[in-house]
Amino acid sequence: MRFISESSEERIPCYRVLDDDGQPFPDSSFVKVSEGVAIKMYNDMVTLQTMDTIFYEAQRQGRISFYLTTSGEEAINIASAAAIKNDDFVVPQYREPGVLLWRGFSMQEFANQCFGNKADYGKGRQMPIHYGSNKHNYFTVSSTIATQLPHAVGAAYALKMDRKDACAVTYFGDGGTSEGDFHAALNFSAVTEAPVIFICRNNGWAISTPISDQFRSIPSLPCLSNILTILLR
């Protein structure tokens, strides 16, 4: 991918580790993780898939009322979680349970929330998969598309005002980029210079609508594991 601009101003380059075929660039400066971290990442991705299968089948059987899987997005969950610190705030959409899993949220805690039992931290007042954990700095999920983005900027600005060595990380999909909250959040973060990372899961679709029909911008990269990250400090 090559960006062409007639502007003489210096632009932020597009950082990539993998090419369009999923192969690493030979001159990449990417530093490999340790074997222990790599094994944990793999284990958590497999665990996430297994959990999704069990809970999705439970939903289809009528045991729980609602469920969304992270199929095809396991690496985005786990890799981003591994790259940030536990002190960093996570403001999710609804396909990031892998971040909680990485931080130590147990299978029982996931089940408590999905079934809305007495051990659920939300006391059964939220829909299934709307996880939240103060202990793990994971804001409670909201179904409304893109509303989490301005919230993440506000949280990041609070961290900046408190002089905390931390940032806020928020996730959204292609469809979220069509919402006004997306544009407001980017401007809000730029104006306040808040330490926030925006991660777009650019899989090319907004639910069942292709990105070509809902957002006029550069085309999404063809690989699910490619993440567009915008860091504004």
Domain containing 125 — which CATH number? 3.40.50.970
The full 3-state SS of 188-220, as one line of letters, equals: HHHHHCCCEEEEEECCCEECCEEHHHCCCCCCC
In a domain, 43, yes or no: yes
Q: What is the Cα–Cα distance from 18 to 22, expressed in whole angstroms?
A: 5
Q: If you ran DSSP here, which 8-state letter would residue 92 be given?
A: -
Banded pLDDT at 26 (limits 50, 70, 90): confident
- Looking at the 3D structure of the chain, how many domains does it have? 1
The whole-model pTM stands at 0.85
| Structural domain harbouring 192 | 35-232
DSSP helix/strand/coil, 138: strand
In a domain, 15, yes or no: no
The 10s digit of each residue's pLDDT in 54-96 is 999 999 999 999 999 999 999 999 999 999 999 999 999 999 9
In a domain, 42, yes or no: yes
**Whole-number pLDDT of residue 187:** 97
Residue type, 187: N
In a domain, 17, yes or no: no
In a domain, 28, yes or no: no
